[in-house]
């Protein structure tokens, strides 16, 4: 094909626009058979993910893994289901959301509710004394799903945990630093990390007069303050859980307090509100240590000391925290965690202290996907770097040889699956997939032992020698980055 014809074809391709309506009409699904009245759907609370969604998800997963690895974490894998006894009694009122399975060969099992309890079982069973691990996997909850808010029955969790005997608040501070790194890098928007101490919260309940046997159930009610007003939470405490109204009013005085870490800490100390309880004094001392470490890590401006934060799960024993977006409240928390020093001991003879968190990855995906849609950003779904275009007939084997050399050199390449494809559709495929380079091969290139290489972004085209061409392709690709 002559260069003038090539230029004409190229111009035609660059003007081409895919008509979505035409494509939709052309690719319209066949009519459903009359004898199949049930519409195809995924189970409630689950969904399929298309290539664009998976591109976003994989990019975010890669970013998170890089952060975890930067902090020295290893990864493990645990079964998607556990013995029911392993999960029972670890989640407080949320235990009702566990998916139970039928008798599996004499063992009663349940789908894992989170990745923390299986991790604790793993540590105890393998007698691990210290480990810094991450785990990214699906979990299951028999919840009432709200798909638009990122609440599913099957979803991914990204967990990071540090287990072992260490000095007070040192690993806790690193966990909070890691959350900040991840949320900054995935560019999910402005956020704040609400932080409290479970020991301080229990001390507040004791100061207010809550009976010890009601600590956990009242804690579960307080945990709803991020979604419900105080009047509704108070009503649950008094009318549903039998707490004296005067005690509930005393609790309100505490849980309405929040502010910058050092500022609220000083306020609690100077007010004397917690001086009568040793556990409260100890918790405030631990928090002072933590805030000092976070200041050294450059994180205190992201932290909000909030006495209304409760975290309803039963296994928390120390600091608890929850990251929320400050410019919208549609998806709830986007990361949460805390210290759980007694969980491993439930499965073994020895307690192994632990602290960790989970990234609300599905909620982050929901936000990022909306951003792409709102800004009409095109997502590059594949990682093809070079598309090999045949310009004349009977050159399929030459294309295959070129692709083989590209693949051998570690370069991502594609070609059309036709013996004699037309030029325009090939170039259009490269355009549509946002492939950065095309290699053009025709009779002229065969005769001169060269290859024509086109930059698909600026339409600039050069000729390179056929011999050892992959080195030049790598150089061109590096210049594009």
Q: How many CB atoms lie within 10 A of CB 133?
A: 20
Phi-psi region of 164 (alpha: psi -120 to 50; beta: other; left: phi over 0): left
Q: Is 458 annotated as a binding residue?
A: no
Q: Is 231 annotated as a binding residue?
A: no
Please provide residue 63's backbone torsions phi and psi, each rounded to the nearest 5 degrees: -60, -45
Shortest CA distance to 111 belongs to which of 145, 159, 143? Answer: 143
Nearest-angstrom CA–CA distance, 192 and 336: 11
Burial 225-255 (b: 16+ CB within 10 A, else e): bbeeeeeebbbbbbeeeebeeebbebbeebb
Q: Is 121 annotated as a binding residue?
A: no
Q: Is 161 annotated as a binding residue?
A: yes
The strand pair at 319-325 and 191-197 is best described as: antiparallel
Q: Is 114 annotated as a binding residue?
A: yes
Which residues does 119 contact at the CB level (< 8 Å), separation at least 6? Answer: 76, 78, 133, 135, 159, 161, 163, 354, 356
CA-CA-CA-CA torsion sign (21, 24, 27, 31): negative
Q: Beta partners for 465?
A: 450
Nearest-angstrom CA–CA distance, 58 and 214: 44
Contact at 8 Å (CB) between 310 and 223? Answer: yes
Nearest-angstrom CA–CA distance, 202 and 314: 12
Which residues does 464 contact at the CB level (< 8 Å), separation at least 6? Answer: 450, 451, 453, 472
Q: Is 141 annotated as a binding residue?
A: yes
Which residues does 324 contact at the CB level (< 8 Å), separation at least 6? Answer: 191, 192, 194, 226, 332, 333, 334
Contact at 8 Å (CB) between 324 and 195? Answer: no
The tokens for 249 are 């009013």
Find how far residue 177's CA is from the centre of its chain.
16
Q: Is 157 annotated as a binding residue?
A: yes
Nearest-angstrom CA–CA distance, 474 and 391: 23
Which residue ranges make up the annotated binding site for L-histidine?
A: 114-116, 141, 157, 161, 311, 315-316
Q: Which residues fall in the annotated binding site?
A: 114-116, 141, 157, 161, 311, 315-316
């Amino acid at each position: 094909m002559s260069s003038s014809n090539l230029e004409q074809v190229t111009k035609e391709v660059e003007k081409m626009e895919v008509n979505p309506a035409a494509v939709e009409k052309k690719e319209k699904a066949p009519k459903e058979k009359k004898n199949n009245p049930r519409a195809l759907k995924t189970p409630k609370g689950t969904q399929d993910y298309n290539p664009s969604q998976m591109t976003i998800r994989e990019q975010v997963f890669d970013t998170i893994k890089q952060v975890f690895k930067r902090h020295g974490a290893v990864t493990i894998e645990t079964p998607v289901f556990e013995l029911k006894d392993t999960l029972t009694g670890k989640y407080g009122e949320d235990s009702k959301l566990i998916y139970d399975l039928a008798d599996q060969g004499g063992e009663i099992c349940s789908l894992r509710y989170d990745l923390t309890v299986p991790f604790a079982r793993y540590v105890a069973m393998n007698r691990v004394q210290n480990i810094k691990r991450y785990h990214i996997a699906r979990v299951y909850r028999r919840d009432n799903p709200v798909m638009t808010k990122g609440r599913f029955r099957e979803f991914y969790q990204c967990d990071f945990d540090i287990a072992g005997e260490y000095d007070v608040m040192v690993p806790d501070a690193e966990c909070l630093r890691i959350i900040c790194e991840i949320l900054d890098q995935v560019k999910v928007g402005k956020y704040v990390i609400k932080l409290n101490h479970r020991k301080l919260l229990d001390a507040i309940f004791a100061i207010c007069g809550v009976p010890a046997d009601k600590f956990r159930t009242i804690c579960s009610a307080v945990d709803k303050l991020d979604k419900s007003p105080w009047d509704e939470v108070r009503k649950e405490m008094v009318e549903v859980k039998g707490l004296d109204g005067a005690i509930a009013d005393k609790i309100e005085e505490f849980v309405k307090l929040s502010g910058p870490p050092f500022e609220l800490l000083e306020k609690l100390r100077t007010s004397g509100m917690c001086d009568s309880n040793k556990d409260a004094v100890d918790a405030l001392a631990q928090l002072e240590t933590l805030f000092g470490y976070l200041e050294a890590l450059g994180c205190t401006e992201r932290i909000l000391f909030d006495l209304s934060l409760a975290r309803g799960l039963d296994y928390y024993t120390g600091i608890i925290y929850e990251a929320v977006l400050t410019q919208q409240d549609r998806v709830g928390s986007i990361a949460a965690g805390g210290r759980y020093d007694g969980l491993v001991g439930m499965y073994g003879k020895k307690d192994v202290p632990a602290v960790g968190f989970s990234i609300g990855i599905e909620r982050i995906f929901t936000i990022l996907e909306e951003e792409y849609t709102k800004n009409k950003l095109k997502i590059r779904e594949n990682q093809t770097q070079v598309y090999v275009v045949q310009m004349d007939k009977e050159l399929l084997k030459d294309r295959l040889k070129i692709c083989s050399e590209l693949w051998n050199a570690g370069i991502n390449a594609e070609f059309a699956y036709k013996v004699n494809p037309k030029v325009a559709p090939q170039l259009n495929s490269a355009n549509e997939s946002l492939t950065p380079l095309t290699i053009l091969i025709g009779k002229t290139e065969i005769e001169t032992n060269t290859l024509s290489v086109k930059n698909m972004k600026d339409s600039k085209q050069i000729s390179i020698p056929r011999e050892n061409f992959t080195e030049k392709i790598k150089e061109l690709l590096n210049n594009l980055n």
